[in-house]
Amino acid sequence: MHIGLRFLISQGLILMTTLSGNAMINGDADYINTFANRSEYSVVCLDSVDEKLEDKEKSEGDQCGNHEGNQCENSSGDQGKDNLGENKKTSFREALGIIDESYAVDAEIVEKWLSGEEEADGEKQVFLTFDDGPSRTITPKVLDILKEKDVKATFFQCGEMIELSQSTEDLVQRVHEEGHAIGNHFYIHDIVKINTGKNLNGEYCKKQLKKNDETFKKVLGDDFNCRIMRMPGGFASKERAKYYGLDEFKGYLKNNSIYSIEWNALSGDADGTNKSRNQLVQEVKKTAEDKSKVIVLMHDTYGKEETVKALPEIIDYFKDQGFQFKVIV
């Protein structure tokens, strides 16, 4: 059973791809996706991608079966070990890679700004962030606009989306080569598995981070280092609700130099209301008001055409307000 359908079944949701225009978004016939940051899930893969994913799952299952006496990486065994390496420390400079330090900000500082642990200085900086990609239909258009406007952004990507095809892997390369930052958004965007009630499934989260990190390195090379993550569904809300197991997971992140990056402004392009271009722009302006450090949440997954239309105006707004555009590393 393909990954997208598992998401739907886990939520008791069904979407038939032949019933409405939502099933074919601008002619995209590889993967239809309705990710949202809190409540929506990927819908269904069409036949060609479905077969590819089923073959991949079967191959992984066969590999597990061939290692007698050893548990597969995806099994429940060996849960006591750090999945990203024990105390794997990566510095800001090590993570920069090809990114120019002149437009990069240390993730540790950004995390402290967002949590209120450290007061931001008065310098006006905006961080455009895009979740849930890459997508063949939206990500290239976002990159074209960013290039035209001479602006850099931060992309929180899912390994599931990266590995759909060679073209999506090539998009990750393009994001990287054009000087944007890349963050870990888990391998699969499955909010249900992250927690059971108010119990955080820390081992599941670690494995998701590891698998996505491995995907990045497979595409970008072993020298690529990622220090930032954005948990599907958000992390700060779980902190406020005092989820059980959260302190242990936060300790794990700290020991491995991984920083949780939330947002303090958003376009609302994933709130299920199908906002127009103008509504998206107005939402960004409203939520960014009176802030000197603005981390904007947007999405570059399938179906976000209005985000593409709104992006030039959003960029122009922040330029007119005297903001510098930065990325998080």
| Domains assigned to the chain | 3-65 (no CATH), 92-328 (3.20.20.370)
**Separation CA 219–CA 214 (nearest Å):** 9
**Residue in this structure with the two tokens 């303090």, named with its chain if needed:** 264
Provide the β-strand partners of residue 195: 200
Read off φ and ψ for residue 93, nearest 5 degrees: -70, -35
Nearest to 329 by CA among 132, 95, 114: 95
Across the chain, what does the average pLDDT equal? 81
Residues of the chain with pLDDT under 50: 1-83, 85
Nearest to 154 by CA among 294, 268, 313, 23: 294
**Separation CA 245–CA 199 (nearest Å):** 6
Read off φ and ψ for residue 324, nearest 5 degrees: -95, 140
Give residue-wise pLDDT tens across range 211-263.
999 999 999 999 999 999 999 999 988 988 899 999 999 999 999 999 999 99
- The pLDDT, as a whole number, for residue 87 is 61
Give residue-wise pLDDT tens across range 140-162.
999 999 999 999 999 999 999 99
Percent of the chain with pLDDT over 90: 68
**Separation CA 295–CA 129 (nearest Å):** 7
- The pLDDT, as a whole number, for residue 86 is 54
Give residue-wise pLDDT tens across range 189-212.
999 999 999 999 999 999 999 999
- The pLDDT, as a whole number, for residue 281 is 98
